Amino acid sequence: MEYKIPFYRPSKLIGVELINQQIDTICTESINALTANFLEKVNYSFALAVPNLSLATHLSFCAIDLKRGDKVITPINSFVATPHSIRFFDSEPIFVDIDLRTYHMNIASLKNAITQNKSKKLRAIVVKHFAGLAQDITPILEIAKENNLLLIEDFSDFIAIDKINLQSDIAIFSLNFPLDKVLQGAIIVFKDEETYNRAKLLSNNAIVPSNEVKYLYDVLDVGCDYTIDGIKAYFLDKLMQKRKNFLSKRLEVAKQYFKELANTPHITLPIEDKKHQYGFFIIEIDKNRDSFAKELKALGIEVGLHYIPLNFTTYYKQKYNLKVFSFPNALTIYQKILSLPCNSKLSQNEIDYIIKSVKKVAQAHV
């Protein structure tokens, strides 16, 4: 019911689009609208919006009731949010190697990991759709079914534009663009209603309000606050409506890189694929990658490295006694890769300067 005198009235924002509107109403409507609009892009019916990808990953594991000692398979080049979330449950990440060209999960390494870890404690596989190129999950789906494993897809580098036909148990999507920290958000999509309902319960501290008296409530489990605020949801929904335009501009940047950097000495360009979104435009330097990066830095160009294999990081190396050569494909790739700026906000002058600089450094590179 609507109270004549509510217990609390939210503040009004001054000087922005929401002035003179009922903030509480807008907040509720915005979260519902954000979720409903996103569900139009997938073939499932259940979704939750959360503040960021790390919380989305953690809540996904809460939803499947991950327990102490459980094991989850993930690529060694995953972002740390995935293994960190697994460790929060005192569960164990099982790392697998990657493909030398796509950087996706290597199927042979996946099969070997399952063979080496067959037990009741092996619970799930996390597939990372890397850098904006979706991996074909057909063989992974078959492997998961054969071994009674849940399948979670990480679409954090991938923008949902056209309809996506999901087959996994859970899929995680970013609502912001890679590395955009100004306006973060994520969506978790669930195959079945039971898992969704558990995630929804836990996302609000597992609190269930009374149907009769508003101030009475019960606590059914151990949850946390994963709820996204309505103001953020409002702007993320507006941003989502413009993503196709943003992606088109990014693809134009990638197109120019492919054209102008073809046959440049010492570098290998990424896979040229119409389905690739180039969330990261990753080139390979044949030798002295760090020297190449330093030269670009001296020219004022910031580059990235996506991602450092987790067996190179202190915690996971020591915790699981991982060796540098434990994942040979990831090691080979790690020594070469470099991500160039590739986003919709680049001006033509900046694109031209990046291309000119990469060519200049490559010509002098030894």
- The verdict on 116 and 195 lying in the same domain is yes
pLDDT, one tens digit per residue, over 130-161 is 999 999 999 999 999 999 999 999 999 998 88
Q: What's the pLDDT at 23?
A: 62
Contact 96, 74 (CB under 8 A): yes
Last residue of a domain, one of 206, 225, 240: 240
Cβ(180)–Cβ(44) below 8 Å = no
Beta-sheet strand order (sheet of 122-128): 46-50, 186-190, 170-174, 150-155, 122-128, 71-75, 92-96
- Which residues sit opposite 125 in a β-bridge? 73, 151
Domain presence at residue 7: no
Q: Do 351 and 311 fall within a single domain?
A: yes
Coil, helix or strand at residue 155? strand
What letters, b where the CB count within 10 A reaches 16 and e where it falls short, cover 348-366?
A: eeebeebbebbeebbeebe
Write out the H or E segment, with its range, that includes residue 150.
Answer: strand 150-155
Do 154 and 248 belong to one domain? no
Domain that holds residue 357: 243-364
| 8 Å CB contact between 75 and 69 | no
C-alpha to C-alpha distance for 155 and 160, rounded to whole angstroms: 9
Q: Which of 220, 240, 260 is the last residue of a domain?
A: 240
Q: How many domains does the chain have?
A: 2
Q: Are residues 129 and 227 in the same domain?
A: yes
H or E stretch at 365:
none
Instruction: Answer whether 192's CB lies under 8 Å from 311's CB.
Output: no
| Token pair listed for 150 | 């849940």
Q: Tokens standing for 160?
A: 């949902």
Q: Are residues 105 and 213 in the same domain?
A: yes
Question: What's the residue count for the chain?
Answer: 366
Query: What global pTM score does this model have?
Result: 0.92
- Both 179 and 278 in one domain: the answer is no
- pLDDT under 70: residue ranges of the chain: 1-28, 177-181
Predicted pLDDT at 7: 47
Q: Is residue 206 located within the same domain as residue 261?
A: no
**For position 9, what pLDDT does the model report?**
53
Which H or E run contains 34?
Answer: helix 23-39
Among candidate residues 194, 216, 240, the one where a domain is terminated: 240
- Nearest C-alpha neighbor of 109 from the set 310, 334, 327, 311: 327
Instruction: Round to whole Å and give the CA distance between 317 and 156.
Output: 25
Tokens describing residue 123? 């619970």
**Together in a domain, 186 and 271:** no
234 and 247 co-located in one domain = no
pLDDT tens-digit profile of 287-322? 999 999 999 999 999 999 999 999 999 999 999 999
CATH of the domain at 264: 3.90.1150.10
Structure-block tokens of residue 165: 């036909």
Give yes or no for a contact between 298 and 159, defined as CB atoms under 8 angstroms apart: no
pLDDT computed for residue 262 by the predictor: 97
Nearest 5°: phi and psi at 318?
-80, -40
218 and 311 housed in the same domain: no
CATH code of the domain containing 176:
3.40.640.10
Residues 111 and 67 both lie in one domain:
yes
**Strands 170-174, 186-190: pairing kind:** antiparallel
Structural domain contains residue 229:
yes
Q: Check if the beta carbon of residue 151 is closer than 8 Å to that of residue 189.
A: no
How many other CB atoms are there within 10 angstroms of residue 147's CB atom?
Answer: 14
150 part of a folded domain? yes
The 3 state secondary structure assigned to 184-201 is CCEEEEECCHHHHHHHHH
Torsion of the alpha carbons at 326, 327, 329 and 332, rounded to the nearest 10 = -60
Residue-level pLDDT at 51: 94
CA pair distance 148, 146, nearest whole angstrom: 6
* Predicted pLDDT of residue 253: 96
Q: Considering the domain boundaries, does residue 16 fall inside one?
A: no
Q: Is 11 contained in some domain?
A: no
CB 153 within 8 A of CB 166: yes
Task: Tell me, yes or no, whether 134 and 176 share the same domain.
Answer: yes
> 125 and 72 in contact (C-beta within 8 Å)?
yes
